[in-house]
Structures are given as C-alpha cells and as structure tokens.
Amino acid sequence: MSASAKDLKRTLKRGDLMSMAVGQIIGSGVMVMSIAALGMTGRSVNIAFVLAAIMTCFGALPTIFMGSTIRVLGGTYSQAAIFVGDTFAGFYMVTYIFSNMSMAMYATGLASYLGSLIPAVANNQTIFAVIVFVAFTILNFFGTEVIAKAQNFMFYLLVIALVMFTVFGLPRVHWAGYFGNELFGAPLMTNGFSGLLEASTFLTYATGGATIIVQYSAEAVNPTKDIPFVVIVSTVAVAVLYALMACVIGGVLPAEEVIAAGNLSVIAKQIMPTPCYYFFIICGACFALGTTLNASLGWVTKPLLQATADGWFPAFLGKLNKYKVPYIWLTIFGVVNVFAILSGMDISMLGKLVLFIGNVTGLFLVAGIFRLPKLFPEAWEKSPFHVSNGVLYLGLGCGIALLLVQAYMNCVGQATWVIIANVVMMVVALAYAIIMKKSGKVKVTASYELM
C-alpha cells in the first residue's frame, strides 16, 4: 500500500519555509532572465521588476486565501481535487509530471557559472552538471530536515552575495542620465511601453515561485499562518532587492555588453574587487541556482505522493524510505533529468514547452477557489486573511487576469509545433485521467485538515 502525505514529518518552521521560498524565487530569474528583460526594455528593467512584483502579489492572492484556511496535505494536487474535481486532479498530475522534467536547467546553469572561474569545469560542463544534479538528488534522499539545513546555509550566503553586488554596484551606476534618453546612446525604454509590459510579464517568472511552498503544507508546523506570511514577505523582499540590482544591471555598462555576455559576471567583475567577485560567482550565482534546485527536488514529489495514494499511479511509486522521502518518485525525476543533461537536449526548451499548460491548469486552480467560502465557511471566517466575498472574488479575478496575460504572452511568437505539443500533452493527460477514473482504481481521499 502506498504511503500518503499524512505520513510526512511536520518539522518546517517559518524560517525554513522562508529560505525555501526565497531559494525558489532567486534562481535563473535575476541571473539569467534579467538579461533577457534588459533586451526587451533597456534600463527600465528596474521598473519592470517592480511591475512584475505587483503582478506576482496579485497572482499569489489565491494561494494566500486558501493557504490561510486549510492545510492541503498533497499541495496543489489536493487543491485541484478539493476545489475543482477528481478528474481534473488526475489531469493536473499528469501535466505536473511533464512540467517538472526540466529541473536540470538549474544544474547546467550552475556548472556554467562555476566554469567562468574554473577552466576544468568549463571544459567538462556536462559532467559537472550531472555531478551537481546527482549530489542535490542524493541530499534530498535524507529528508526535509537535512534539505532545510542545506537550504538555510546556502540562503544566508546567497543573500549576502546579492546585497554585496547591489552595494558595490549602486555607486557605479550613471545616475545623472539613467532616467533620460541619452545614457549609452539608448532611451530609458528601448522598445517603449509595450517593451516594458512585455518585460514585466516575462519577469513574473523571476519574481514568482514563493507560492510553491504550498507543496510543503503537509510538513509545515503551522501552515495556515506561516505559508501566507512567507509568500507575501519573500515576494516583496526579493522584488525590492531585484529592483535595486536591476539599476546596477542597466546603469553600469551599456546594455549590449551585458546582453552579449549573457550573465552578470561581466558587471560583477567591473564593480567588485577580485575576492568579492569570486564570492559573488560561487555564493551568488551558483547558490541562486543551487537553492532553486534543492527546493525543487524537495517539493516536487509531495503532490505525487498523495496522488499515488489515491490510485492515480501504481502504489509502489509512493513508498517512503526511513527519512519519509518518496524515494522512487525522486529517483525517477533524477534519472530523467540526468538523461536530459547527458543527451545534450535543449533543457530550457523543455521548460518553455509546458508554460502554456501551466497557465491553463493555473486558471482552473484559481477559479476553483471561488468555492472557498461555500466549502469551508467556518474555517474561512477564522482565517487571518479573511476578507469579504467581494474582495475575495476581486483578488481571484486579478489572479485569473494575470494568468490570461501570461498565457497570451507565452503563445505570441511561439512556433506552431510548440502550441500543438502543448495541446497534445493536455489531450493525453485528460484521456489518462478519464480512463483511470472509470477504471475504479482511483479513490480520491479528503487530503486536507482544518486548522
């Protein structure tokens, strides 16, 4: 018989959740996506980060409302089953597996940054990426407490490195002409307001990520208080830091030089003494990607554990080791991602392939929370984030609007085959869910607790 999310240890406190959330947010976002955003909007990338953070906070409202009301033992799987329905929950979990097959991009990114310091790594980047991924996978076999300790260690050094980049960089920014249209011979908004909007929407993926800690609900000591708090504080704090860093990214060197480099090392080398530059590359760039990879491997199996217990997948996949880790599911993700690295496939493309699917499932998840006052009237009344139904519906409406904008932006400019691939994956997922539901093997349990 498969274990369920009820069997997990409840050890994660607010500080642990905070480091997980910040580690999830700070990853490829500021280290890679900021460079792409610089190409979209130029020096106004700092404004784009602020707008992205505002959109992200509105997008997080559904998670905050739900997370402050009940403990969802199976994370987003439980949310799907409770608020949308059993068949959708099965559909969601199949798309969930597709959407998390690209975690290897964090390991390859980490090896790339490390290669800028160590030639041996640069010459054997694929092997080092595999070593990094395997190391973090093995770490996650030892359970949430060990993951949290490693995350906290990297978290503090990461924050120091990013603050150091900001402190060294802000005095070097060309403030006199920053908000004009002549610095470096380029306007503030290189592509006008439309470019700013495009960059802001794009950067919601850089400022987002905190809501993923709902997957740790079963292991949190006090989820209904800590998860909403952590989502809000981590998102706002990181957004402020990102906006300040963006001033450095756009105001120290011409945009074309930074874009050509493809990462922040060219700026860091310009503004920092050599020892600080090494510290930034290792504890800033590498740990930014390391904390994201560590957090991702930590939460990715939690919804699958509950879905397996409910019969959507073979029971043996949900077995736990002595550290209460779904080790078979973790091994599957490890093997698939290592294969992706060794095969040389475009791992970033795997992530792009499922962006639209994520928007579609997200729309259903958010829409389902309109039922919150009806399904859990007493718990909702007691929620520390309780608001009137009108405000609740307005907040959920904003979340839906944001997802629609993201879905549109993800479709614009995509190759036809990418859209077709998304549709095919959704059809396969829906067919699987319907077949499994009709087979009688699926018995969806009430995987939530009232606090």
pLDDT for 393-425, tens place per residue? 998 998 888 888 877 776 776 778 777 888 888
Question: Maximum distance among all alpha carbons in the chain?
Answer: 69
Least confident of 140-154, 170-184, 200-214, 391-405: 200-214
The answer on pLDDT for 348 being more than 60 is no
The answer to whether 246 touches 53, Cβ cutoff 8 Å, is no
Find, among 448, 446, 442, 450, the residue nearest to 93 by Cα. 442
279/277 Cα distance (integer angstroms): 5
Find, among 55, 106, 58, 53, the residue nearest to 244 by Cα. 53
The answer to whether 150 touches 297, Cβ cutoff 8 Å, is no
What would the two tokens of residue 227 be? 């998860």
The number of CA neighbours under 13 Å toward the Cβ of 160 is 11
Find, among 126, 110, 111, 104, the residue nearest to 340 by Cα. 104
How far, in whole angstroms, is CA 101 from its chain's centroid?
13
What would the two tokens of residue 417 be? 């085959």
Cα dihedral 209, 138, 91, 79 sign: negative
The answer on pLDDT for 2 being more than 70 is no
Q: Looking at 68-103, list the stretches that DSSP marks H as alpha helix, in order from N- to C-terminal side.
A: 76-83, 86-99
The answer on pLDDT for 171 being more than 90 is yes
71/58 Cα distance (integer angstroms): 21
The answer on pLDDT for 274 being more than 80 is yes
Write down the pLDDT at residue 315.
92
Share of the chain above pLDDT 90, in %: 39
pLDDT digits (tens, 9 = 90+) for 309-337: 999 999 999 999 998 899 999 999 999 88
Cα distances (angstroms) measured from residue 327 to each of 5, 15, 73: 14, 25, 18
pLDDT confidence bin for 6, thresholds 50/70/90 = confident
353/332 Cα distance (integer angstroms): 20
Write down the pLDDT at residue 216.
86
In degrees to the nearest 10, what's the CA dihedral of 86, 88, 90, 92? -140
What would the two tokens of residue 116 be? 């800028």
Average pLDDT estimate for 150-156: 87
Tell me whether residue 123 is exposed, middle or buried, using C-beta atoms within 10 angstroms of its C-beta: 0 to 12, 13 to 18, 19 or more.
exposed
Mean pLDDT, the chain, integer: 87
Write down the pLDDT at residue 354.
65
Find, among 60, 2, 3, 73, the residue nearest to 216 by Cα. 73
pLDDT confidence bin for 345, thresholds 50/70/90 = low
The answer to whether 341 touches 126, Cβ cutoff 8 Å, is yes
pLDDT digits (tens, 9 = 90+) for 285-298: 888 888 888 888 98
pLDDT digits (tens, 9 = 90+) for 155-166: 889 889 999 999
Average pLDDT estimate for 169-178: 93
